[in-house]
Amino acid sequence: MAMKIRLARGGSKKRPFYSIVAADSRMPRDGRFIEKLGTYNPLLAKDSEERVKMNIERVQYWLGEGAQPSDRVSRFLEAAGVLEKKERNNPNKATPGKKAQERAEEKAAKAAEASAAPAEEAAAEESAE
């Protein structure tokens, strides 16, 4: 049986509340699970101790049995010190494209010329006097 440690959503509309559960991977997200391992309340402040609560002993037991944590649960476990941090794919989506980089370089070159031009004029005026 392929086991997962994942989040099961509860709470009302626009007010999410999650249970951290050990479940068969073939079962629905909010469906049948084997054991409830903790809770996660995303509405609380990030530094609140009530935000993520887990029974670490049971989580370690299920990890020992071969259960695979979901991405979000693995982040919780990394923060708790149960799992070591793993390298994640972080694509450079925020970097501008080629044309935008070219425009930025042109703008920087014009700004450099503009700042150099007044300095040259001032130096020419001083030498003329």
For 91-125, the pLDDT digits (tens) are: 777 788 889 899 999 998 888 888 877 665 555 55
Q: Read out DSSP for 75-102? A: HHHHHHTSS---------TTS--HHHHH
* pLDDT per residue as tens digits for the range 44-94: 998 988 999 999 999 999 999 999 999 999 999 999 888 888 887 777 777
Structure confidence at residue 119 (pLDDT)? 60
* pLDDT per residue as tens digits for the range 3-41: 999 999 999 999 999 999 999 999 998 899 999 999 999
The two structure tokens encoding residue 89: 């794919």
Q: In what order do the strands lie in the sheet with 3-12?
A: 52-54, 35-40, 15-24, 3-12, 68-69
Half-sphere exposure of 92 (CA within 13 A, CB side): 3
